[in-house]
Amino acid sequence: MKWYRVSAVCRKEFLHVIRDPRSLGMAIAIPMLLLLLFGYALSLDVDRVPLVVWDQSDSPESRELVSRFTGSRYFAFQGASRNYAEVEHAIDNARALVALVIPPDFARQVRTGQDAPVQFVADGSDANTASMAIGYARAAAMTYSQSIILDGVRRAGRRAPELPLEVRPRVWFNEDMESRNYIVPGLIAVIMMVITALLTSLTVAREWERGTMEQLISTPIKGPELILGKFIPYFAIGMTDVLIAVLMGEFLFHVPLRGSLVLLFVMAAVFLTGALSLGILISVLTKNQFLANEVAIVATFLPAFLLSGFIYPISNMPLVLQALTHVIPARYFVSLLKGIYLKGVGLEILWYEAGLLAAFVCVVVLLAIVRFKKKVT
């Protein structure tokens, strides 16, 4: 391998990117834009759920129950209703997602120690928010019931019983339960996978369409030298994107980086090598820019977004899809990023994911070199 040939191809690709604003915009601006859009728009936190209340009892007991909801950060009180028609209208026009309905005899039932059922209506068109809100409502009702029992015991002059089981939850790695803390690291992997594969998927195909591949074939340059020369410029751009993403995560989204920054960039370099090589392989196989672009989107974005564990837990997927995720490189990079970012662990824990990611890189690089034929077909 002659490095002066590789450097000549590198220089050519750098000049192409610099002189083509669209390629440069795709390489730098689009990852930043996607990170901003997804980082701010995509949130799995369920709080401040819009709530309306129809309090038919209008008693101190019912107002105490209502305060358990309105005083919580999980519900946002949107107003009172006077009948079911107003409750239904509030949910239909999305002014509220949930409603609390308290019956007229609620206070009497509470005072006499009877069961006091209340109704909690949730908009099932947003199933995730509805299920979370129902869980919050059950917790609020349980604490209210416990306070009533303890008050009754104290009024009777007896000692309040101690609860036989006390749960003290402790959250590790993401103490504030902010979805942004695990979305942003995974988002870096998805964006890098898509952008880098799209960039390099056009490199070889562009040469064939413009007729310059015949000129390259007539030169002494070898296939591996050509692929490496096209790889290096986009690798440098990809690592620049990783640096920008890390800085945005630190200073814009305030995502804690507890692990090794060096390990993060080393694993990013390995992942970029595989993603860029995959794009080159697609370009070699298709020899058409439009087709290469379409294949790259299908082969990178959808698997990286849906099957990497970025948002949806892999353990909740059907067994067939769980098996399919083992060939998705973004799965391992997402695990690596979350481990480095949130848990602060190193290769002593992440060696399995790092090894499989390296194996993917070796296979894709080898395929790209083998499939590239320096001849006109």
Please tell me the predicted confidence (pLDDT) of residue 86: 93
E-strand ranges in the chain read 49-55, 75-80, 98-102, 119-122
Helices 261-286, 223-251: inter-axial angle, 10-degree rounding:
140
If you average pLDDT over residues 203-208, what whole number do you get? Answer: 71
Distance from the Cα of residue 300 to its chain's centroid: 15
**Residues 6 or more apart from 93 whose CB is under 8 A from it?**
none
DSSP single-letter state for residue 219: S
Please tell me the predicted confidence (pLDDT) of residue 2: 78
If you average pLDDT over residues 286-302, what whole number do you get? Answer: 81
In terms of DSSP bridges, do strands 49-55 and 98-102 run parallel, antiparallel, or are they unpaired? parallel
> Does position 153 have pLDDT exceeding 80, yes or no?
no
> Does position 233 have pLDDT exceeding 90, yes or no?
no
Please tell me the predicted confidence (pLDDT) of residue 161: 65
Please give the structure tokens belonging to residue 8: 């000549």
3-state secondary structure 60-85: HHHHHHHHHHHCCCCEEEEEECCCHH
- Each residue's pLDDT tens digit, 21-62: 776 777 778 888 888 888 777 777 778 899 999 999 999 999
Please tell me the predicted confidence (pLDDT) of residue 29: 81
Rounded to 5 degrees, φ, ψ at 55 are -95, 95
**Selection from 364, 208, 361 nearest residue 283 by Cα:** 208
Degrees, nearest 5: CA angle 171-176-180: 115
Please tell me the predicted confidence (pLDDT) of residue 67: 92
> Does position 136 have pLDDT exceeding 60, yes or no?
yes
> Does position 251 have pLDDT exceeding 80, yes or no?
yes
Share of the chain above pLDDT 90, in %: 31
Please give the structure tokens belonging to residue 130: 């509805």
Distance from the Cα of residue 99 to its chain's centroid: 30
162 — pLDDT class (breaks 50, 70, 90): low
> Does position 375 have pLDDT exceeding 60, yes or no?
no
Please name the amino acid found at residue 10.
C
271 — pLDDT class (breaks 50, 70, 90): very high
88 — pLDDT class (breaks 50, 70, 90): very high
101 — pLDDT class (breaks 50, 70, 90): very high
Mean pLDDT lowest among 121-130, 281-290, 307-316, 348-357: 281-290
If you average pLDDT over residues 195-215, what whole number do you get? Answer: 72
Share of the chain above pLDDT 70, in %: 92
> Does position 181 have pLDDT exceeding 70, yes or no?
yes
> Does position 79 have pLDDT exceeding 80, yes or no?
yes
Domain boundaries, the chain: 3-43+178-371, 49-155
Within a 10 A sphere around the Cβ of 261, how many other Cβ atoms? 11
Strand partners, 79: 52
- If you average pLDDT over every residue of the chain, what do you get? 85
If you average pLDDT over residues 283-290, what whole number do you get? Answer: 79
- Residue 171, judged by CB atoms within 10 A of its CB (0-12, 13-18, 19+), counts as exposed
Choices 3.40.1710.10, 3.20.20.30, 3.40.50.11820, 1.10.150.110: CATH for 49-155 = 3.40.1710.10
More confident residue, 259 or 221: 259
pTM (predicted TM-score): 0.79
